[in-house]
Chain A
Amino acid sequence: MITLRNVSKTYHIKGGHKDGARGHVKVVEALKNADLHVPQGSIHGVIGLSGAGKSTLIRCVNLLERPTSGSVTVDGQEMTRLSSSALNQARHRIGMIFQHFNLLTTRNVFDNVALPLELMGMKRTAIRERVMPLLELTGLTDKISQYPAQLSGGQKQRVAIARALASEPRVLLCDEATSALDPQTTGSILELLRDINKKLGLTILLITHEMEVVKSICHRVSLISGGELVEEADVGDFFTAPGTQLGREFLNDFLQLEPPKGLVERLEAEPGEHTHPVVRLAFSGDAVSTPLISRLARDCEVDVSILQAKVESIQERTLGLMIAELLGPAEKTRQAIDYLESHDLHVEVLGHVQRDD
Chain B
Amino acid sequence: MSSAMIDLIIKATLDTLYMVGVSGILAALLGVPLGVMLYVTRPRQILARPALNQTLGMVTNIGRSIPFIILMVAIIPFTRMVVGTSIGTNAAIVPLTIAAIPFVARLVEGALNEIPPGLVEAAQSMGATPGQIITKVLLPEARGGIITGLTITIVTLVSYSAMAGAVGGGGLGDLGIRYGYNRFNPTVMLITVAILVVMVQGFQSLGDYLVRKSDRK
Contact = CB atoms under 8 A, between A and B. Distances in A.
Given A102-B116, A104-B119, A119 B127 contact: yes
Contacts of B127: 87-92, 116, 119-120, 167
A167 B125 contact: no
B97 to A, nearest CB: 29
Contacts of A85: 129
B116 A92 contact: no
B61 to A, nearest CB: 23
A91 B127 CA distance: 5
A64 B132 CA distance: 16
Contacts of A94: 125
B136 to A, nearest CB: 7
Given A91-B127, A104-B140, A119-B127, A96 B217 contact: no
Contacts of A116: 126-127
Given A116-B126, A119-B136, A167-B126, A106 B141 contact: yes
A98 interface: yes
Given A88-B129, A92-B126, A119-B127, A106 B214 contact: yes
Contacts of A89: 127
A282 B128 CA distance: 49
Interface string A83-120: 00101111110111010101011110000000110111
A149 interface: yes
A268 to B, nearest CB: 51
Nearest to A62: B125
A102 B121 CA distance: 8
A148 interface: yes
B166 interface: no
B143 interface: yes
A295 to B, nearest CB: 55
A106 B132 contact: no
A147 interface: yes
B121 to A, nearest CB: 6
Contacts of B143: 106
Interface residues of B, number: 21
A102 B118 contact: yes
Contacts of B125: 62, 64, 91, 94-96, 173
Contacts, number: 66
Given A92-B126, A102-B118, A107 B140 contact: yes
Nearest to A87: B127
Q: Which has the most chain A C-beta neighbours within 10 Å: B116, B127, B129?
A: B127
A18 B109 CA distance: 30
Given A90-B127, A91-B125, A102 B119 contact: yes
B40 to A, nearest CB: 15
Nearest to A88: B127
B217 A105 contact: yes
B147 to A, nearest CB: 12
Interface in B103-147: 116, 118-119, 121-129, 132, 136-137, 140-141, 143
A313 B118 CA distance: 36
Interface of A: 62, 64, 85, 87-92, 94-96, 98, 100, 102, 104-107, 115-116, 118-120, 147-149, 163, 167, 173
15 contacts: A87-B127, A88-B127, A90-B127, A92-B126, A98-B118, A98-B121, A100-B116, A102-B121, A107-B140, A118-B136, A119-B123, A119-B127, A119-B128, A119-B132, A173-B125
Given A87-B127, A119-B127, A167-B126, 11 more contacts: A62-B125, A91-B124, A91-B126, A95-B125, A102-B116, A104-B119, A106-B143, A106-B214, A115-B126, A116-B126, A119-B132
Interface of B: 116, 118-119, 121-129, 132, 136-137, 140-141, 143, 214, 216-217
